[in-house]
A and B are shown apart, each in its own frame.
Chain A
Amino acid sequence: MSGLIERLTAALDAGLPLRSRLLVLVAFFVLLPVFFTPLWHVTFVAQQYPEGLNLYIYPHDLVGGNDGNDLTEINVLNHYIGMAELKPSDFTELKWIPLIIGLIAVLTLRCAVIGNVRSLVDLIVMLTYFGGFSLWSFWYKLSYYGTNLDPKAAVKVEPFMPPMFGYRMVGQFSVWSYPAVGTYLFTAFGLLLVVALYLAWPRQMQPS
């Protein structure tokens, strides 16, 4: 057992081969656009909204389609069932998500230039935690907004969980909710780091 820990420690202290460094660098450039691309896209379609209402969740903002008006429209409709207004200023996520993406970007660059296997592992652990926590936070917010409805609202509906992934009917609306470009890029970023780690892992540690 102690032998394993020693070998693991030794492996973590190993440097990164050039191909891994290059892959980490590529991953860095894949990560950069995530700042400016939507992480999630929710579409609401009903008979009287044939073009649909679109909501895009960016790392730093909630943006409605149709020059932003779709968010206003979603809020106008939601007020009838007593849902709290979706206001970007009420979402702390929109502040810490860009901060952490920036932090990860800096650490990625550091890893590519002066990093070793350990820093690469740290990076993967960190982004996995960050990704998982963000998803939980998103789920939590959705369920919070869907279940904390004003009891004095004009239209009484049962508390509900808005769809996070996939399709669901909500009232007269068909709602589709899926990850968008930013999330895919972030996933690709993570996968690139895993490949880089695989290529950097000392041969004797690899399963025979």
Chain B
Amino acid sequence: MRKRTIVAVAMPLVAIMLAGMIGCGPKPPSRRGGRGGGATGSDLTKAALATYVAPGDLDEYYLFYSGGHSGQIFIAGVPSMRHIATIPVFTPYPGTGYGFDDETREMLGEYDWGDAHHPGFSETDGEYDGRWLFINDNANGRIARIDLRDFKTKQILKVPNISANHGSSFVTPNSEYVTMSTRMSIPFPEGTYADVTEYAEKYKGLVAGIKIDPEDGEMSIGWEILVPPFNYDLGDAGKKASDGYMFWTCYNSEREFIEGGKLEVTASQKDKDYILMVDWRAAEKAVEAGQGRMVAGAPVLDPKKTSDIAWFIPLAKSPHGVDVSPDGRWIIGSGKLSPTTTVYDIEKIKKAIADKDFEETIDGIPVLTYASVREAEIPVGLGPLHTQFDGKGYAYTSLFVESAVAKWKLPPYDAGADMSQYVVDKIPVAYNIGHLVTAEGDSVTPDGNYLVALNKLSKGRHLSVGPSIPESAQLIDITGEKMSLLYDAFTEPEPHYAVMIKADKLDPIEVYKKEDSDNPDAIWSAEEARIERNGRMVEVWMMAVRSFFAPDVIRVRKGDTVRIHVTNIEQTRDELHGLAINDYNINVVIDPGETKTITFKADKAGVYAYYCTNFCSALHQEMQGYLLVK
């Protein structure tokens, strides 16, 4: 849904809705670079002071943006919004040598890209604990773990049967599980052929719980649940009052894919779609009890055979976000074609389940009676997508169509009250917001100070860079009664969600200590450098230090396989070295104390220089050697 083509198609709709329903057309900016929002001088001074981080000073929060189809994660500081670094996850990144050494190449497997969507922190008791960051690949059924000790991708797990893993990576309060789900249903099991004319019967959706090892964060498949062929979209994990449950929205409950029929039309026919709710502890028990059928290595539960693991909750059609309030009591669902956001009460949901208060059953999954579980419908505005919280009793919902953020009050509400009074503030954003994030907004105690609007369009807000226009992220102050815009920042394609963590929760290392190295191929002095031949395999143990490599000459014969283990023996922070081999398409970067291994076939005869790519010292230019291929 978040693809640029769809956005482009949606734009005329935006114009029509704004013109027709609000009564005024969008105003063009008076001049390129002109300040919008009608801010006065004193507002600007306040915003400038609130976001200015003086040279040498540090930001208050880390902001981890997903990089969308760039396959990366971008790190910025809040409140300065300065981009600090990029973590490559699903895409090779020569800047850090990711995807060029044997280990990361194996981790990336057959893929050159992924679609990084929703980052999620590990949690302890519902609080971000700063250990790991998970992120899903919407394109290839994968999920990755980043270790926040060194900000490196440590694992990419390919999960069978899941197609287009979008409802991910939402983490349970003690990091028991992280979610996965199928956005684009395919015939089950994966690899099966069935024509789209058989969509309703042969195609299946799946949701999955990925188990997280509490010690090292290693992910493994916990369980999968077979669900109807709807499009499972976004999710969240229950907490506190709703601990033990997972939630996903889904659209296309019409259950069809009509060739040439346009899914945007066919999937929008029914008034209501659903939130899928799963009892993950029940799913875990069912798998332990052997009720899962092993399919492609995953234990798959079928709600037709295993009851009391999954339920549907009706929601306004074509929903996107489902978000759990910090106390876990309120489940908030947003149908993007509806002008309201719906609040559900987990206590009412539990009661409806106990009372078997069901409207119908779909593929073994009971549908709870809407009127019994709904708490309220809040008229937040047009195109509600995703909701975040401030920990002070308010929710913030992004409005894609209206291009705004609505601030509204969580329950309790007065009986019979006009619900529009609970929408207490609204701020326009530039332009067309998708997700939003508040400081520690997915935890049980959000900080309630900063909100970042992740906007899909940024036209005219920055120096023009031609038609490939970047996305925009706007920092908004939510400490007061009224929200106020502080700053515009721009990102490469394309954040779908971001998470924000207090800076003091992370304490990353900056050097891999020599004494901690357990790589058997590490060497720590020029004297230990050596080259050994074993048949057609030439193995090199190399070290890099300011400003030379040892060895600086490698002699091989054409057709040999060359394996180089290169250790950066520096123990000083920021003394990185690179190793590029010209015309062999190789570039790795080795951090202080790190050892990387590269393997390649010397299939081109001649002399090829190798050199340090990551600037290291005054004599960096001299840091080079020769690969002689006879």
Contact = CB atoms under 8 A, between A and B. Distances in A.
Contacts of A73: 571-572
Interface string B541-573: 000011000000000000000000000001110
A76 B511 CA distance: 16
A50 to B, nearest CB: 9
Interface in A86-115: none
B309 to A, nearest CB: 52
A69 interface: yes
A154 B571 CA distance: 22
Contact of A69 (B545, B571, B622): B571
B618 A80 contact: yes
A72 interface: yes
B354 interface: no
Contacts of B572: 69, 72-73, 76
B153 to A, nearest CB: 27
Mostly helix, strand, loop or mixed at chain B's interface? Answer: loop
Interface string A57-91: 00000000001010011001000100000000000
Contacts of B571: 69, 72-73
Interface bin, chain B: 10 to 19
Contacts of B619: 80, 154
Q: Which of A72, A76, A155 has the most CB of B within 10 A?
A: A76
Nearest to A79: B546
A15 B622 CA distance: 71
Nearest to B619: A154
Nearest to B571: A69
> For the side of the interface on A, what is the size category?
under 10
Interface in B372-422: none
Nearest to B56: A50
Contacts of B546: 76
B358 to A, nearest CB: 64
B545 A76 contact: yes
Interface in B343-385: none
Contacts of A69: 511, 571-572
B507 to A, nearest CB: 16
A190 to B, nearest CB: 39
A88 to B, nearest CB: 16
Contacts of A72: 571-572
A67 to B, nearest CB: 8
Nearest to B570: A76
Contacts of A80: 618-619
A80 B616 CA distance: 13
A107 to B, nearest CB: 40
A49 to B, nearest CB: 9
A198 B570 CA distance: 55
A161 to B, nearest CB: 24
Nearest to A68: B571
A69 B572 CA distance: 7
A1 B622 CA distance: 75
Contacts of A76: 545-546, 570, 572
A73 B21 CA distance: 67
Contacts of B622: 154
Contacts of B618: 80, 155
Interface string A144-169: 00000000001100000000000000
Q: Of residues A69, A73, A154, A155, which shows the largest number of chain B Cβ atoms within 10 Å of its Cβ?
A: A69
A67 B572 CA distance: 11
Interface string B123-146: 000000000000000000000000
Interface in B509-529: 511, 513
A72 B545 CA distance: 11
A80 B570 CA distance: 15
Nearest to A53: B572
B422 to A, nearest CB: 51
A7 B618 CA distance: 69
Contacts of B513: 67
Nearest to B511: A69
Interface string B598-630: 000000000000000000001100100000000
Nearest to A77: B546
A71 B363 CA distance: 69
A76 B548 CA distance: 11
A67 B619 CA distance: 26
B296 to A, nearest CB: 48
Contacts of A155: 618
B364 to A, nearest CB: 60
A72 B525 CA distance: 12
A72 B511 CA distance: 14
B475 to A, nearest CB: 29
Contacts of A67: 513
Nearest to B569: A72
A13 to B, nearest CB: 58
Interface in B563-609: 570-572
A76 B569 CA distance: 11
B70 to A, nearest CB: 32
Nearest to B513: A67
A42 B318 CA distance: 68
A76 B619 CA distance: 12
A10 to B, nearest CB: 62
Nearest to B617: A80
A23 to B, nearest CB: 45
A73 B574 CA distance: 12
B360 to A, nearest CB: 66
B572 to A, nearest CB: 5
Nearest to A64: B571
A76 B618 CA distance: 12
Contacts of B570: 76
Contacts of A154: 619, 622
Q: Which 6 A-B pairs have the closest CB atoms?
A: A69-B571, A73-B572, A76-B546, A154-B619, A72-B571, A69-B572
Given A73-B572, A154-B619, 15 more contacts: A67-B513, A69-B511, A69-B571, A69-B572, A72-B571, A72-B572, A73-B571, A76-B545, A76-B546, A76-B570, A76-B572, A80-B618, A80-B619, A154-B622, A155-B618
17 contacts: A67-B513, A69-B511, A69-B571, A69-B572, A72-B571, A72-B572, A73-B571, A73-B572, A76-B545, A76-B546, A76-B570, A76-B572, A80-B618, A80-B619, A154-B619, A154-B622, A155-B618
